[in-house]
A = this chain, B = another copy of it.
């Protein structure tokens, strides 16, 4: 199969490609953006826009991708972006915003958020950047979400003080580092699915978040969905699917 628009249409016209084939080819036709190829058809298939993972990309690559997205009238959401690249992107595009805690840049008109029952608990102050990344992405997808801070298991009464919020949530995101015990406690206090996000906060055996991750995966409480370490984006996207895909 060729990737070229003209050829797709010609082969359709000449009967070598059925209507269904043509639609499929069009929906997967990548949009060139510098060295990258954007997948603007993904939104049709998966219901979510493509989030740009900024960590291993050069400024030039990020500028090209952002330009292609804005020209296609899409919202650009770039995560794990360096302050320098963030500044350059914001200078280059109007309607851009940089969150320096979440390390995210958005370019384009942000949607108005709606309350869809997403609750977000954050175990410690040090886990805040991951909570912020989750919030920025959810907000950019139109979902209301505000972190509840400092509800770690070392002071269990604080968690219990949130029982009412947990009882009415549709999905609960729990962000924790170190021993990652919070989701186990929370899942015992709610009927909602719990998305557990381990963070790389810790030192010694818990450095880099592997202990928190393993803790969450081996929880004795049922109903926990675990994502990668520090993966605020993944938690946001998973929560978004849960609250929007309710046909």
Contact (Cβ within 8 A) A215 B180: yes
In angstroms, Cα B149 to Cα A245, docked, is 24
Name which of A27, A192, A203, A247 has the most chain B CB atoms within 10 A of its CB: A203
* Partner-contacting stretch, out of A33-41, A66-74, A88-96, A105-113: A33-41
In angstroms, Cα B229 to Cα A206, docked, is 9
Contact (Cβ within 8 A) A150 B229: no
Mark each residue of chain A from 145 to 167: 1 if its CB lies under 8 Å from any CB of chain B, else 0: 00001101111111111011000
User: How many subunits of this chain does the assembly comprise?
Assistant: 8
Size category of the A interface is: 35 or more
Q: List 26 A-B contacts (CB under 8 A).
A: A28-B155, A28-B158, A37-B150, A37-B158, A39-B158, A45-B188, A45-B189, A46-B187, A46-B223, A47-B191, A55-B203, A61-B125, A123-B220, A124-B220, A153-B153, A153-B220, A155-B188, A156-B159, A179-B214, A179-B216, A181-B215, A191-B245, A195-B225, A203-B231, A225-B227, A246-B246
Which A positions have Cβ atoms within 8 angstroms of B?
Answer: 1-3, 16-18, 20-21, 24, 27-28, 30, 35-37, 39, 41-42, 45-48, 51, 53, 55-57, 61, 80, 117, 123-126, 128, 149-150, 152-161, 163-164, 168, 170-171, 178-181, 184-185, 187-193, 195, 198, 200-211, 213-231, 233-234, 237-238, 240-242, 244-247
